[in-house]
Chain A
Amino acid sequence: MTEETKHIEEKRTSESKLSKEDSILYLENVKKSFGSKTILKDINLAVKKKETISVLGKSGTGKSVILKCIIGLIKPDFGEIYAFNEEMTTMNRSQLEGIRRRFGFLFQGGALYDSMTVRQNLKFPLERQPNQISESEMEEKAENVLREVSLLDEIDKMPSELSGGMQKRIALARTLILNPEIILYDEPTTGLDPATSKEISELIVKMQEKFDVTSIVVTHDMPCAKIVSTRIKILKDGIFYKEGTFDELEKSDDDFVKGFFEFY
């Protein structure tokens, strides 16, 4: 058994301590390649309810690919993904649409619809739910989530009129409007100044506490990871290389892990 496969086996064993049934989200042996390049070699992950896991890793190592595999935007080449004890990888489109309603996804750039106002952006997912609510209820929901992110005054502005931090907050509000049980954050603080990054990180924690959501945060912003995470997993060469709390990993002797904490 090579050193790498031994490492993978160890990780798999530690992850299997949390069974599928105990986990709200469970990834088993997930592999993904693009052409000849293997991005994810063997990803195993078990997430408990109300937990916030941060995934750290260098750029281009497949952190965002993990999130996109979970939500079904990218189909893994191998492996199984369970959410709410249902296997997602074998679902058809309508089943996937159903389970996606229980997820929220905050994109790196916010992904606000730039041809719509903030109000229209927030109402868009509501208008397309199977259980339709009235126009006034939609308005009320949109105003409520905007109040949560302290941007009610910007309701009739276009996304292009807002700063990067404001766009992220609005995107978070749009994610929250459907009351998701799991939120996936793809680099929520990228491109923001340290003060705004801290504000966004604190907002994420506030929302998690208020709405009891489970989260996976992909980031390489260490202050953000410290503020939001209950557990951190470090991705290296397509596998989760190390795992622990922020404080545990900060004390690690491993050179690769130290690299993340060196300039923090």
Chain B
Amino acid sequence: MNKTSTKKSFLEEVLPDSLQNAFYKAWALVLFAARFFFELVKPPYEYKEFLKQCFEIGYKSIGLTSITGFIIGLTLTLQSIPTLSDFGAESLVPSMVALAIILEIGPVITSLIFAGKVGSSIGAELGSMKVTEQIDAMEISGTNPYNYLVVSRVAATTIMLPLLVIYADTIALIGGYIAVNTVGGGMSFQVFIQSSLTGIDFSDIIPSTIKTFFFGFAVGVIGCYEGYNADRGTESVGVAANTSVVLSSLAIIILDMINVQITSILL
């Protein structure tokens, strides 16, 4: 049926095993991600599981997002006030804080926190299901486990992360407002929001929001891939969770860098 070739390719001879494995894994991850789009449009549509995952991934992350968003806004403002005061530019604090939060700090920090919480949870959950043969059981019962488990989770992370980022940005601005009124000279909320928005253009908000869809997709795909491909044994569940966080965080940083390059070329 199958013929196994023992002849090594040029790259296999030249590259060390670890690098070869990294390439194979990267390629397998690309194929796994590409399958998402194919399965997404293919019925049956597991909308109940998707809604459940939106609740688990999105709603249950609101608490953590609120705390981190608030602290980011507060500390960034507290640290900016003395520096800007030295130049007599205290009035620029709201717009500087808003720009930093909306363009970079809000999306990236929220996504990294999200990768830690959701990426690890997806990796561990699917890894555990793989190890205990629950994924095989699903396959045998006539269910496409990729469709049920992966599509619902990746779709949920892709949609929920941008919403969480917008929410976190809002909370961070509230944190900034409180900091201005605690340390700075005091400012009404209306004035704070007005001066925050003066420095921000619509073309600033769009790319920073779009990139979070990619961040969410990366967190979902990597978490699912690691869990779905866990080997036998409980140790692999921990490895899947850990690798999901590490690779998702790395992917977020790399995607952010690519986004900055593309945005600077286009705008």
Q: Contacts of B142 on A, CB cut-off 8 Å? A: 97, 100-101, 125, 128-129
Q: Could you tell me the distance between the alpha carbons of A109 and B135 in the complex, rounded to whole angstroms?
A: 13
Tell me whether A111 and B141 are in contact (CB under 8 A). Answer: no
Interface residues on B, range: 10 to 19
Known: A71-B140, A73-B140, A124-B143. A113 touches B134 (CB 8 A): yes
Tell me whether A107 and B2 are in contact (CB under 8 A). Answer: no
Q: Contacts of A115 on B, CB cut-off 8 Å? A: 125
Interchain CB contact (< 8 A) of A111 among B1, B125, B134, B144:
B134
A78 in contact (CB, < 8 A): yes
Tell me whether A108 and B133 are in contact (CB under 8 A). Answer: yes
* Chain A interface, DSSP helix/strand/loop, else mixed: loop
Interchain CB contact (< 8 A) of A73 among B4, B44, B139:
B139
Tell me whether A111 and B137 are in contact (CB under 8 A). Answer: yes
Known: A111-B132, A111-B133. A78 touches B139 (CB 8 A): no
Tell me whether B134 and A105 are in contact (CB under 8 A). Answer: no
Q: Which residue of A lies closest to B143 (CB)?
A: A128
B204 in contact (CB, < 8 A): no
Q: Contacts of B128 on A, CB cut-off 8 Å? A: 114
B136 in contact (CB, < 8 A): yes
Tell me whether B136 and A124 are in contact (CB under 8 A). Answer: no
Interface residues on A, range: 20 to 34
Tell me whether A105 and B137 are in contact (CB under 8 A). Answer: yes
Q: Could you tell me the distance between the alpha carbons of A97 and B144 in the complex, rounded to whole angstroms?
A: 9
Interchain CB contact (< 8 A) of A178 among B1, B132, B136, B141:
B141
A79 in contact (CB, < 8 A): yes
Q: Which residue of B lies closest to A73 (CB)?
A: B136
Known: A100-B142, A128-B142, A128-B143. A79 touches B134 (CB 8 A): no
Tell me whether A76 and B1 are in contact (CB under 8 A). Answer: yes
Tell me whether B1 and A103 are in contact (CB under 8 A). Answer: no
Query: What's the minimum C-beta distance from B119 to chain A, rounded to whole angstroms?
Result: 18
Q: Which of B101-130 contact A (CB under 8 A)?
A: 125, 128-129
Tell me whether A125 and B141 are in contact (CB under 8 A). Answer: yes
Tell me whether B1 and A105 are in contact (CB under 8 A). Answer: no
Tell me whether B2 and A77 are in contact (CB under 8 A). Answer: yes
Q: Could you tell me the distance between the alpha carbons of A51 and B141 in the complex, rounded to whole angstroms?
A: 23
Tell me whether A109 and B133 are in contact (CB under 8 A). Answer: yes
Q: Which residue of B lies closest to A109 (CB)?
A: B132
Known: A77-B1, A114-B134. A124 touches B141 (CB 8 A): yes
Query: What's the minimum C-beta distance from A150 to chain B, rounded to whole angstroms?
Result: 22
Query: What's the minimum C-beta distance from B233 to chain A, rounded to whole angstroms?
Result: 13
Q: Which residue of B lies closest to A29 (CB)?
A: B1
- What 0/1 readout, one digit per residue, does chain B (59-89) give for beta carbons within 8 Å of chain A? 0000000000000000000000000000000
Q: Contacts of B138 on A, CB cut-off 8 Å? A: 113, 124
Chain A CB within 10 Å, residue with most, of B4, B138, B139: B139
Q: Which of A122-171 contact B (CB under 8 A)?
A: 124-125, 128-129
Q: Contacts of A68 on B, CB cut-off 8 Å? A: 136
Known: A77-B1, A77-B2, A78-B2. A103 touches B140 (CB 8 A): yes
Tell me whether B141 and A128 are in contact (CB under 8 A). Answer: yes
Q: Contacts of A109 on B, CB cut-off 8 Å? A: 132-133
Tell me whether B134 and A128 are in contact (CB under 8 A). Answer: no
Query: What's the minimum C-beta distance from A31 to chain B, rounded to whole angstroms?
Result: 8
Q: Could you tell me the distance between the alpha carbons of A103 and B140 in the complex, rounded to whole angstroms?
A: 8
Q: Contacts of B143 on A, CB cut-off 8 Å? A: 124-125, 128
Tell me whether A107 and B141 are in contact (CB under 8 A). Answer: no
Q: Which residue of A lies closest to B125 (CB)?
A: A115
Tell me whether B44 and A111 are in contact (CB under 8 A). Answer: no
Tell me whether B132 and A114 are in contact (CB under 8 A). Answer: yes
Residues of B within 8 A of A (CB): 1-2, 4, 44, 125, 128-129, 132-134, 136-144
- The 8 A-B residue pairs with the shortest CB-CB distance, nearest first, are A125-B141, A111-B137, A111-B133, A78-B1, A107-B133, A128-B143, A105-B140, A111-B134
List 11 contacting pairs A-B, 8 Å CB cutoff, sorted by A: A73-B140, A97-B144, A100-B140, A100-B142, A105-B136, A111-B134, A113-B134, A113-B138, A124-B141, A124-B143, A128-B143
Given A78-B1, A97-B144, 18 other A-B residues pairs in contact with their CB atoms under 8 A: A68-B136, A73-B140, A79-B1, A89-B1, A100-B141, A100-B142, A105-B136, A109-B132, A111-B134, A112-B134, A113-B129, A113-B134, A114-B129, A114-B132, A114-B134, A124-B143, A125-B143, A128-B141
